[in-house]
Structure formats: structure tokens, C-alpha cells
Amino acid sequence: MGSWVPSYETAHLELHTSQSEERLCAFKDPYQQDHGISESRISQENGTILCMKGSTCYGLWEKTREGDIHLVKQGCWSHIGDPQECHFEECIVTTTPSLIQNGTYRFCCCSTDLCNVNFTENFPPPDPTDTTPYSK
């Protein structure tokens, strides 16, 4: 018997199938701002949510100056944007934190079940020669 080699069609079908399945994500929304989510999709005991087909998971954390990390929100990410951005299996922060919030927030999205429980930072450190103080 010969060995089975996946073809392009098989690989494409598997990719398409993964996007058409519902996604289980870690969930925390203290202000319940996600209006329109059916309560039956949220498991408060487990801290999870069953997301609609095609959704990915996201997480938002705040990192204090002392280095402490606090979870702000987690849930389903169905916003339309660059689809490549959220197709990692792990939640990786790849964008340098914005200076608007003193660089305290970390956002990531990912495409496997419960991948948003934790995050990994992988962005270039700020260039010390590029920081010009703001003055009037």
C-alpha cells in the first residue's frame, strides 16, 4: 500500500473547515459591553464563550509600570481587518504598545480554542534614539 499524501485540495479544505467551526475562547467582560451575545453562549463558571463561525479569540491586558499584568477583557474577535493578524495558534502581541496609554495595554488575537488565556510579547523594543520629548 502506498502512503497517503495530502493534496492542495485537502489542505485547503482543512483550512476552510477550521474557519467554519465555532471557536471556544476565554471570556471576561466586566462591563458586559458585548450586547447581542446570547447568554447561552457564555459559561460564567468556566470563563468561556462559544464564538460564531469565522471568529477568532482576543485578549486585552494592562501592564503596570511595576510590571504587574491585569486582565482587562477576553472574548470573540470578529472584527474585519487583516485576517493574517489573528491566525496564530498562540496569542502573540506583535504591535509595539501605543504611547497614548503610556504603553500599558497589550492586545492580541489568535485562532485556536482557548488560545487567549495567556499572551506572549514579540515586538521590537522602542528605539531609544527615536524618543523625542514632546514640548510646546
State how many domains the chain has: 1
Q: Which pTM was predicted?
A: 0.70
Q: Is residue 132 situated within a structural domain?
A: no
Q: Is residue 108 situated within a structural domain?
A: yes
**pLDDT, tens only, 50-80:** 998 889 999 999 988 888 999 999 999 887 6
Q: Is residue 56 situated within a structural domain?
A: yes
Q: Is residue 109 situated within a structural domain?
A: yes
C-alpha distance from residue 40 to each of 70, 88, 93 (Å): 27, 27, 30
Size of the chain, expressed as the number of residues it contains: 136
Cα–Cα distance for residue pair 48/24, rounded to 1 Å: 7
The dihedral sign for the CA sequence 26, 30, 32, 38: positive
Residues 52 and 79 sit within 8 Å (Cβ to Cβ): no
Q: Is residue 126 situated within a structural domain?
A: no
| CATH number of the domain bearing residue 79 | 2.10.60.10
**pLDDT, tens only, 19-51:** 557 899 999 988 765 555 666 688 888 899 999
Residue 70: give the domain boundaries. Answer: 22-121
Q: Is residue 49 situated within a structural domain?
A: yes
